[in-house]
Structure 1
Amino acid sequence: MTELFPPTRLEALSRLSSFVPRAGRDYATGRNYDLPEKGHPHVSQLSPYLRHRLLTEAEVCEAVLGRYSLSSAEKFIQEVCWRSYWKGWLELRPQIWADYANAVNMLDEDVHVATAEAGQTDIDAFNAWAQELVETGYLHNHARMWFASIWIFTLELPWQAGADFFMRHLLDGDPASNTLSWRWVAGLQTPGKHYIARSSNISKYTEGRHNPEWRLNTQADPLSGPPHPERRALRDPGEVQPGLRTGILLHEDDLSPKFLLEALPDAPVAAAALLSPARRSPGTVSAKILGFVDQAAADTVDRWQDRFGARGPIETSVDKIAEWAVTQGLEQVAAPFAPVGPAGSSLRSLRKRLDAEGITLTEVRRTWDNAAWPHATHGFFRFKKTIPDLVAKLGAETE
């Protein structure tokens, strides 16, 4: 895990710097090629860092737009903004995540699912991607689409089981991006429009490495499901109060705390981290994910120790974080806003514990999210019209 994706901000910045010269024409023309044997040369491989915000969307866009015009780097900027779009879309419709999580909890053991996860089907390309995912914690985006399509329409397995397989192994596994992408492939996200993997497309974009030929079902109909739930209003973040003894709480959804420190009226007296990667699935989450998240959080605490006050625990237990807050005599805890997903669920549980102790938990939402999420009301086509304003107004929202 650490060989392919060292979980540090220094590594993230190094990868960003190396990729920026390729973010224009090279990315636009080569981004669909799945070439693991060449190290995936046409894509950034920044997604594990963006998912945990060791890098932020704003600073990645600023770095790329410092070299290219928006039109020249349009494809890459759009890919970065897809992440924000999906998060906003799910934040406005959290019931989708709840329904998915409930469906995963209801799944029975299935020998066919186990065979697919082990990469032991009669489709060599699919098997190679399953093995690459488990071994590396990463898959090229195009391979993810092919894999999901084959899983759903050729192998005829539950899409929720496939999405859960990804969440248990992808270092960048994200509740919004993963769940909604699988729904999109299935034809549920944009009702009636699904994604069918075709041998010709796979052969072209793997440069002939894979060609499933007749093995794929290319005549499948999209899945059907209930209509989207009604949009809710975005949950209001709280406001950090001055004059209170304050601690900082990090979580794996946002490990760039500079914006949080700048939002505090007073210096924090202590800091800790509450990590929830094991809650991504009721199954066993990959040790690669657990190690990445734990080491990334430790890297963040190490880098900001002189601004954090007393160093607290990096914990997976809500109870132990509550004990930490009480022991430190905190009156309020400030955390980055946690969107729908495991980290958000953990913060909700913690809030109840802290409320009982008279301690306030306040989540601070980034300027980028405040600007992007309200526009995730319909499809991405409408959302992308807001991208020029988004990148023009924000500037760099770095650590």
Structure 2
Amino acid sequence: MDLPLLPLFPEASRAAGLQRLDGFLPRAGTAYARDRNHDRGAAVVRGNVSMLSPFLRHRLVSEAEVIAAAVGRHGAAAGKFVEEVGWRSYWKGWLARRPGVWAAWRQGVAQDLAGLVRNPALAAAVEAAEAGRTGIDGFDHWAQELARTGYLHNHARMWFASIWIFTLNLPWRLGADLFMRRLIDADPASNTLSWRQVAGLHSRGKAYAARAANIHGFTDGRFNPAGQLNETPEPLDEAPPPPAGPVPRPYPADPRLPALLVLTEDDGRPETLFDGLEMCGAVALDLTPFRAVAGPVAEPAAAFARDALADAAARLVAAGGPAALPVGAPTAEALAATLIDDARAAGARQIVLPHPAAGHAAMVVDRLIPRLQAAGLHLATRLRRWDAATAAGASHGYFRFRKGLPPLVELALSGGAEELCLTNESRR
């Protein structure tokens, strides 16, 4: 079947995200719980799932407002939808408290790439899998769908990852990097930790098996890879992750210092982030070059990120803030130099940005801090109560986190989730 040439997400804006949320809300209750696992393909309207993930990834709409809208419409019947949105916040909080897992993944990708140089047969197998030339029914379609649309249904992502790891016997970290390069909604926490989950590394010893009957049933008969899959996989074995570290805390801003505002892909709501600051300039920071390891981010994903930043910048101006100049560089050192120059040109004495999510954003910020400090610039971050509260609950597994969902739902319904954590404690 030919895949659609038109993008599934034609506009990266808050208005488009709210419109999509409004269109999905009637189906966010029992209909979602019943139908969410069916992948009917990119050639049909996916009304059984919200398709909100790219907007949530860039926080053009927030997890809290999506949950509040669903519960406000359906009450307890929205429970399954709330749980699925909760997974996103759980993954982000879990990784924020264990940033070394992300660093280990990046290091592992580099090692795996070196292994491909030494093993041409493995390199050819990875290339065939990425291109959708394995001969496995369903898998090849999903590889091509991912390349052309930048999106896969969540169930297809799990099947794809399981087949990649256990049937094709390919390095799991390279599969996760492929998703980071091609998915429009690529999120460091959700993506990396979901691949670890499938591999049996998150819930230790419990691998996810892609089964032909399950694929046949939940693709409504489109695919049936009977006899092609390893349906009894042994989970991978790696060193366990470190215990949970402290809950993130923001670097406090100094309201007396003129501030250069930095917009990033982690929070597309700048009009609610920078109250109480003396704003003397703004930049929109493109972090997509740092997202993956094995190659550049695909253009559909990079374009969505750029457009989301532009939409955020336009709303900042509409709210009375400064116009944001686009900024990008291939290295953290080059970014630091650019930010220092921009801050000095604007007369800023501090740089304020959304608190970086665990992954490439936090990695870049950690590299920026000593250079900004050496230039006499104070760096501050703005952390929302939702992110602090969900990270606090992400100390162990998801099922313990799920028991803490009711107070999080109340926080979302109260409107307090969008508020900022203002504290004099350091982030670490």
Q: TM-score, normalised by structure 2?
A: 0.89
Partner of 2:39: 34
Partner of 1:55: 61
Q: How does 1:133-148 map to 2 (within 5 A)?
A: 133-148=146-161
- The structure 1 segments of at least 4 consecutive aligned residues displaced by more than 6 Å after TM superposition are none
Partner of 1:338: 356
Check conservation: 2:385, 2:418, Cα contact below 8 A. Answer: no
Look up the SS of the partner of 2:17 in the other structure.
helix
Check conservation: 2:188, 2:359, Cα contact below 8 A. Answer: yes
Question: Which residue identity does 1:241 align to in structure 2?
Answer: D
Give the Cα–Cα distance (whole angstroms) in 2 for the partners of residues 361 and 378 of structure 1.
31
Give the Cα–Cα distance (whole angstroms) in 2 for the partners of residues 54 and 148 of structure 1.
28
Query: Which of 385, 400, 408 pairs up with 1:390?
Result: 408
Partner of 1:212: 225
Unaligned runs of 5+ in 2: 117-122, 330-334, 420-428
Give the Cα–Cα distance (whole angstroms) in 2 for the partners of residues 124 and 174 of structure 1.
27
Query: Which of 113, 116, 139 pairs up with 2:129?
Result: 116
Partner of 1:163: 176
Q: CA deviation at 1:152?
A: 0.6
Q: CA deviation at 1:347?
A: 2.0
Per-residue Cα deviation, 1:49-88 (whole angstroms, up to 9, x for no partner): 101111111111111122111x200110111111110011
Partner of 2:346: 328
Partner of 2:138: 125
Check conservation: 1:12, 1:49, Cα contact below 8 A. Answer: yes
Give the Cα–Cα distance (whole angstroms) in 2 for the partners of residues 341 and 367 of structure 1.
20
Look up the SS of the partner of 1:38 in the other structure.
coil
Going from structure 1 to structure 2, the CA distance change for 1:63 and 1:2 (only over 3 Å counts) comes to farther
Per-residue Cα deviation, 1:250-301 (whole angstroms, up to 9, x for no partner): 1111111233123xx2342221121211211121210111111111101111
Q: CA deviation at 1:346?
A: 2.1
Partner of 2:281: 270
Look up the SS of the partner of 1:216 in the other structure.
coil
Partner of 2:110: 105
1:46 lines up with 2:46 in the alignment: no
Partner of 2:422: none
1:203 lines up with 2:216 in the alignment: yes
Q: TM-score, normalised by structure 1?
A: 0.96
Give the Cα–Cα distance (whole angstroms) in 1 for the partners of residues 23 and 364 of structure 2.
36
Compare 114-123 and 34-43 and name the one that shifted more.
34-43
Partner of 1:310: 322
Q: How does 1:170-319 map to 2 (within 5 A)?
A: 170-262=183-275, 265-282=276-293, 283-307=295-319, 309-317=321-329, 318=335, 319=337
Partner of 1:78: 83
What percentage of residue pairs aligned between the two structures are identical? Answer: 45
Per-residue Cα deviation, 1:342-390 (whole angstroms, up to 9, x for no partner): 1222222332232122111101111101111111011111000111111
Look up the SS of the partner of 2:262 in the other structure.
strand
Look up the SS of the partner of 1:269 in the other structure.
strand
Check conservation: 2:271, 2:315, Cα contact below 8 A. Answer: no
Check conservation: 1:24, 1:72, Cα contact below 8 A. Answer: yes
Look up the SS of the partner of 1:237 in the other structure.
coil
Q: CA deviation at 1:8?
A: 1.0
Give the Cα–Cα distance (whole angstroms) in 2 for the partners of residues 228 and 347 of structure 1.
23
Compare 346-355 and 179-188 and name the one that shifted more.
346-355
Question: Which residue identity does 1:382 align to in structure 2?
Answer: R
1:20 lines up with 2:31 in the alignment: no
Partner of 2:70: 64
Check conservation: 1:34, 1:140, Cα contact below 8 A. Answer: yes
Question: Which residue identity does 1:151 align to in structure 2?
Answer: W
Check conservation: 2:386, 2:418, Cα contact below 8 A. Answer: no
Compare 246-255 and 189-198 and name the one that shifted more.
246-255
Give the Cα–Cα distance (whole angstroms) in 1 for the partners of residues 409 and 387 of structure 2.
12
Compare 300-309 and 379-388 and name the one that shifted more.
300-309
Check conservation: 2:258, 2:350, Cα contact below 8 A. Answer: yes
Check conservation: 1:256, 1:398, Cα contact below 8 A. Answer: no
Give the Cα–Cα distance (whole angstroms) in 1 for the partners of residues 173 and 23 of structure 2.
36
Q: CA deviation at 1:131?
A: 0.4
Give the Cα–Cα distance (whole angstroms) in 2 for the partners of residues 107 and 156 of structure 1.
13
Partner of 1:379: 397
Look up the SS of the partner of 1:215 in the other structure.
coil
Query: Which of 2, 8, 17 pairs up with 1:4?
Result: 8
Question: Which residue identity does 1:274 align to in structure 2?
Answer: L
Give the Cα–Cα distance (whole angstroms) in 2 for the partners of residues 239 and 204 of structure 1.
52
1:359 lines up with 2:377 in the alignment: yes
Check conservation: 2:384, 2:418, Cα contact below 8 A. Answer: no
Going from structure 1 to structure 2, the CA distance change for 1:315 and 1:54 (only over 3 Å counts) comes to same
Give the Cα–Cα distance (whole angstroms) in 2 for the partners of residues 219 and 124 of structure 1.
18
Check conservation: 2:164, 2:175, Cα contact below 8 A. Answer: yes
Q: CA deviation at 1:219?
A: 2.0
Look up the SS of the partner of 2:77 in the other structure.
coil
Look up the SS of the partner of 1:67 in the other structure.
helix
